[in-house]
Amino acid sequence: MNLIAAADANWGIGFKNRLLAHIPEDMAFFKEKTMGNPVVMGRKTLESLPGGQPLKGRVNLVLTRESSFQRKGIVTAHSIRELLCRLAPYAGKDIYVIGGASVYRQLLGFCDTAYVTRISCAYQADAFLPDLDGQKEWELTDCGEEQASANGLKYRFLTYRRKQKLRNAPLALQCRQRLGYNWKNQKSHSAHCSFRP
C-alpha cells in the first residue's frame, strides 16, 4: 500500500478537520497518483472533503466504527481487519492511504511507499503524520527541489520507501490467519468477507 499526505515543517497535516494549506500543485499530484485506484480514509477525512462527498473516479474505502454510517459511493469498513478484507480484491492495484492522522498511524505498518508533500513553513495543527525521518524502517529515496506554489507557498515532493519491502505480505497474512481465506484465491473472498457491525 502507499501513503500520500501533505505535511508541514512539524509533520502537521490538519487543524480542526481542515487541511493546513491549499497547494494546487499538490492537489494535482494527489489526483494524478490516486485516480483510478482505491483510496482508504477515515470518516473525518471523508467529512472534510468538499460536500463530504467521496473522490470521483476512485473506490473510496472509509473507516468508521459507526455501524449505521452510509454515504453514496463509499465502501465502509468498521475495523482494520474488515478493511483488509475489503481490500483483498484490489491486491494487485496501487492502494492509497489518504488520511487522516489516525488512519496514517494505523496503516503505516502496511505501507511500502509514502509520498509526502512537505510544506516548508509550520502551521498550528492538531493532526500529525508520523515523522518518517525518525523511523528506522523508512528511508528518503527521492527529495524534490523546493518549489514555490502559484500562491507563494514553498514545498517539495518527497518519496519515502520502506527499507525492507512488504510486498503485501502483512495483508495476505492477516487475511489468511485472521479471516481464514487465501489472499490469492479471490473466489473465496465473498464467502468469508461478510461482516456484521
Contact letters (x/-) for ligand NAP, 113-132, by CB under 6 A? Answer: --------------x-----
Among 10, 25, 29, 48, binds ligand NAP (CB under 6 A): 48
Joined together, the cell numbers standing for residue 157 give 515532493
Distances, alpha carbon 33 to alpha carbons 3, 7, 20, 30, in Å: 11, 17, 21, 5
Contact letters (x/-) for ligand NAP, 66-85, by CB under 6 A? Answer: x--x--------xxx-----
Q: Is 19 in the site for ligand NAP (CB under 6 A)?
A: yes
Joined together, the cell numbers standing for residue 119 give 510544506
Residue 117 identity (one-letter amino acid):
T
Dihedral (CA of 59, 106, 64, 89) sign: positive
188 burial (CB, 10 Å; 0-12 / 13-18 / 19+) is middle
Q: Is 99 in the site for ligand NAP (CB under 6 A)?
A: yes
Which CB sits closer to ligand NAP, 90 or 123? 123
Stretch that binds ligand NAP, among 97-105, 107-115, 133-141, 178-186 (CB under 6 A): 97-105
Stretch that binds ligand NAP, among 10-18, 89-97, 161-169, 181-189 (CB under 6 A): 10-18
User: Within 10 Å of residue 83's Cβ, how many Cβ atoms?
Assistant: 23
- DSSP letter, residue 20: S
Among 1, 2, 3, 5, binds ligand NAP (CB under 6 A): 5
CA separation for the pair 59, 193 (Å, rounded): 17
CA separation for the pair 110, 100 (Å, rounded): 15
Q: Is 63 in the site for ligand NAP (CB under 6 A)?
A: yes
Which CB sits closer to ligand NAP, 80 or 172? 80
**CA dihedral of residues 56, 89, 106, 58 (deg, nearest 10):** -10
Q: Residue 3 pairs with which residues in a beta bridge?
A: 97, 114
Number of residues lying near ligand NAP (CB under 6 A): 29
Q: Is 45 in the site for ligand NAP (CB under 6 A)?
A: yes
Q: How far is the CB of 49 from ligand NAP (least distance, A)?
A: 9
Residues that bind ligand NAP (CB under 6 A): 5-6, 13-14, 17-19, 41-45, 48, 63-66, 69, 78-80, 98-103, 106, 127
